[in-house]
């Protein structure tokens, strides 16, 4: 009789945790604005440096946009569990009766809502600045959605492993970048194929498949990493 009651309790716990993180983000708007500003700054500097050659900009635009998105996501990953570690709530989260993988997934979803989703919403302006048309913008959005989700999920593992360590930002980048390289390569290549008018289905299938794999495994790996870091 107790099993059906566990699902609402788990859902309520995750909802309260996500609500808390969102309210804290509202009080610290810099955590949301800084990665977004960094993304826009990188994407805007390249056209200024390379000149107004529209063909050259169209050729490099997909790669630059994806590199900027990856670096911006990495910039925000360090704070994923750091504030909880510093105020002691991370230990309470680990000791709570709620499943730790589910709670870690909730925090990762909040991270994506605060970093990945704004990047997706701003990306059309960046793509248009490189002279690409609306069809390419649609493909860019279709690749950034699974791509940024995958980066948040993979980054949560690295953030959990390095929480509380000195110079954790550099170590976090070294841990996450090898896992993020397939997302970067296939994301940029898929958009480049769209620019050339070629078939993009293989790239989209890979990105969504990679995202589903990360969604399946990352919460459990993040939970294990949090327990190791807290010992």
For the segment 98-149, what is each residue's pLDDT rounded down to a tens digit? 888 888 898 899 889 988 898 899 888 887 877 778 888 899 999 999 999 9
Q: Determine the pLDDT at residue 3.
A: 47
* Segments forming the whole domain that contains residue 177: 3-230
User: Residue 206 half-sphere exposure, CB side, CA atoms within 13 Å?
Assistant: 14
Examine the pLDDT at 8 and tell me if it is beyond 60.
no
First to last CA, the chain: 35
Alpha carbon distance 62, 200 (integer Å): 14
Two structure tokens written together for 166 = 């000195």
Q: According to DSSP H, which parts of 112-167 are helical?
A: 117-129, 134-162
Alpha carbon distance 208, 7 (integer Å): 27
Q: With pLDDT > 70 as the criterion, what percentage of the chain qualifies?
A: 90
Using alpha carbons only, give the angle 24, 25, 30 rounded to the nearest 5 degrees: 130
Q: Identify which has the larger pLDDT, 154 or 78.
A: 154
Split at pLDDT 50, 70, 90, the class of 212 is: very high
DSSP 168-190: HHHHHHHHHHHHHHHHHHHHHHH
Q: Determine the pLDDT at residue 46.
A: 76
112-143: string of b/e by CB count within 10 Å (b at 16+)? bbbbbebbbebbbebbebbbbeeebbebbebb
- List Cβ neighbours of 148 (8 Å cut-off, separation of 6 or more): 69, 73, 112, 115, 116, 117, 119, 120
Arithmetic mean of pLDDT over the chain: 82
Q: Determine the pLDDT at residue 80.
A: 81
Examine the pLDDT at 5 and tell me if it is beyond 60.
no
CA-wise closest residue to 75 among 114, 102, 44, 49: 114
Alpha carbon distance 35, 32 (integer Å): 6
N residues, the chain: 231
Q: Which helix (H) or strand (E) holds 58?
A: helix 54-77
Q: Determine the pLDDT at residue 7.
A: 45
Q: How many domains does the chain have?
A: 1
Report, as an integer, the average pLDDT of 183-209.
90
Best-predicted range by mean pLDDT among 91-95, 166-170, 208-212? 208-212
CA-wise closest residue to 147 among 76, 210, 192: 210
pLDDT in tens, 59-109: 788 888 888 888 888 887 877 887 777 777 778 788 877 888 888 898 899
Split at pLDDT 50, 70, 90, the class of 227 is: confident
Alpha carbon distance 157, 154 (integer Å): 6
Split at pLDDT 50, 70, 90, the class of 2 is: very low
Place of tokens 């294990």: 224
Range with lowest mean pLDDT among 11-15, 31-35, 155-159, 216-220: 11-15
Using alpha carbons only, give the angle 174, 175, 178 rounded to the nearest 5 degrees: 85
Report, as an integer, the average pLDDT of 8-16.
68
């Amino acid at each position: 009789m107790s099993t059906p009651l566990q699902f609402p309790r788990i859902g309520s716990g995750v909802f309260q945790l996500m609500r808390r993180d969102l309210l804290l983000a509202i009080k610290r708007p810099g955590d949301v604005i800084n990665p977004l500003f960094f993304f826009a700054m990188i994407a805007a500097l390249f056209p200024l440096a390379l000149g107004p050659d529209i063909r050259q900009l169209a050729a490099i635009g997909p790669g630059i946009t994806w590199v900027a998105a990856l670096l911006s996501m990495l910039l925000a990953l360090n704070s994923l569990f750091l504030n909880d570690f510093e105020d002691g709530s991370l230990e309470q989260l680990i000791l709570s009766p709620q499943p730790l993988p589910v709670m870690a997934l909730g925090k990762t979803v909040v991270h994506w809502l605060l970093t990945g989703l704004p990047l997706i919403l701003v990306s059309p302006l960046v793509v248009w600045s490189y002279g690409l048309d609306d069809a390419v913008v649609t493909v860019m959005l279709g690749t950034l959605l699974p791509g940024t989700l995958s980066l948040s999920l993979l980054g949560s593992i690295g953030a959990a492993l390095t929480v509380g360590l000195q110079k954790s930002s550099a170590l976090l980048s070294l841990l996450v970048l090898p896992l993020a390289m397939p997302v970067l390569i296939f994301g940029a290549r898929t958009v480049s194929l769209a620019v050339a008018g070629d078939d993009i289905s293989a790239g989209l299938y890979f990105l969504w498949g990679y995202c589903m794999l990360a969604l399946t495994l990352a919460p459990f790996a993040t939970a294990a990493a949090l327990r190791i870091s807290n010992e």
